Amino acid sequence: MLTMKDINKVFRTNEVQTHALRDFHLQVNEGDFISVTGPSGSGKTTFLNIAGMLEQFSSGQYSLDDIDIGSLNDNQRSRIRNEKIGFIFQSFNLIPDLNLFDNVDVPLRYQSLSSKERKQRIEHYLEMVGLSNRMKHLPSQLSGGQQQRVAIARALATHPRFLLADEPTGNLDTQMAQGVMELLEDINAQGTTIIMVTHDNELANRAKRKIQIKDGRVSELDVVVNQSAASA
Ligand code: ADP
Ligand code: MG
């Protein structure tokens, strides 16, 4: 599904040059649930942003469903992103002056869906994350855990084949983190391919595959294959 070969990413700001990814390689298969761990500043977010086409890479090859991503222009990249990819960010990235219903609707507006279909999806996914009674609330009226659940509903409502999550439980307490993890496991069991960055080793071990990034490189590939998850 996804193949990265020799991906390099260099950030240049004034005097400073940061080599965030170095000869990064990875192959992701349909149905995978991959956890990504590694020290702060090692390139985890950069990798996810490149995988999700939010960021361009400096050199190397990236193909997604046999499409050569490096050869696409901005419009083509956005179209493929909207079609295939869902994002969950650590900081939720909800729009403060839109209620929950409208927040979940934002990415759906880029898909060719009727307003009836959009409404059904919004209600279905807000119910799935336990927030159906709060659809008219603003994000500021919710706890962090609830806001993250809205962000998850927003990502899932687009029916992405590929879900990218950057420390989705980073701002949550243990119990809420468990709930979010269970939600991701369910979605994966239903066929969505997931890559999740986390600093929580316990959660990382529940993935089917586990990779570690250090200094912009994959330092350990598939250290753990979670048999129970892989056969579930
Ligand atoms: P992680 O998510 O593993 O903490 P990041 O991918 O955010 O790491 O960052 C990797 C390296 O790239 C860090 O040294 C960081 O400072 C640098 N970096 C990330 N984004 C930018 C940017 N937009 N401009 C300049 N440097 C950046
Ligand atoms: Mg990060």
> Domain with 120 in it: what CATH number?
3.40.50.300
Ranges of beta strands (E only) in 38-99 are: 59-64, 67-68, 85-88
Q: Does 5 map to a domain?
A: no
Q: Is 43 in the pocket of ligand 1 (CB under 6 A)?
A: yes
Q: Does 18 map to a domain?
A: no
Cα–Cα distance measured from residue 110 to residue 123, given in angstroms and rounded to the nearest whole number: 18
Q: Measure CA of the first residue to CA of the last residue in the chain; give whole Å.
A: 21
The distance from CA 206 to its chain's CA centroid, rounded to whole angstroms, is 16
Q: For 153-168, what is the mean pLDDT?
A: 92
CB atoms within 10 A of CB 28: 19
Nearest to 4 by CA among 34, 47, 40: 47
Burial (Cβ within 10 Å: 0-12, 13-18, ≥19) of residue 154: buried
Residue 44 belongs to domain spanning = 30-56+72-230
Q: What's the pLDDT at 122? A: 97
Could you tell me the distance, in angstroms and rounded to a whole number, from the CA of residue 115 to the centre of ligand 2? 35
Atom of ligand 1 nearest to the CA of 13: 25
Q: Does 92 map to a domain?
A: yes
Cα–Cα distance measured from residue 41 to residue 215, given in angstroms and rounded to the nearest whole number: 8
Opening angle at CA 52, ends 72 and 110, nearest 5: 80
Do residues 167 and 204 make contact, with C-beta atoms less than 8 angstroms apart?
no
The predicted-structure confidence for 32-81, as pLDDT tens digits, reads as follows 999 999 999 999 999 999 999 999 999 999 999 999 999 999 999 999 99
Residue located nearest, by CA, to atom 26 of ligand 1:
11
On the question of pLDDT at 153 being above 80, the answer is: yes
| Per-residue b or e along 202-227, where b marks 16 or more CB atoms closer than 10 Å to that residue's CB | ebbebbbbbbbbeebebeeeeebebe
Residue type, 13: T
Q: Does 61 map to a domain?
A: no
The predicted-structure confidence for 165-195, as pLDDT tens digits, reads as follows 999 888 778 887 888 899 899 999 999 999 9
Q: What is the pTM of this model?
A: 0.89
Do residues 80 and 52 make contact, with C-beta atoms less than 8 angstroms apart?
no
Mutate to test the pocket of ligand 1, among 11, 21, 58 (most ligand atoms within 8 A of CB): 11
Mutate to test the pocket of ligand 1, among 7, 36, 46 (most ligand atoms within 8 A of CB): 46
Q: Does 6 map to a domain?
A: no
Nearest to 38 by CA among 54, 59, 24: 24
Count of domains forming the chain: 1
Q: What's the pLDDT at 226? A: 56
The predicted-structure confidence for 99-134, as pLDDT tens digits, reads as follows 999 999 999 998 889 999 999 999 999 998 889 999
Q: Does 66 map to a domain?
A: no
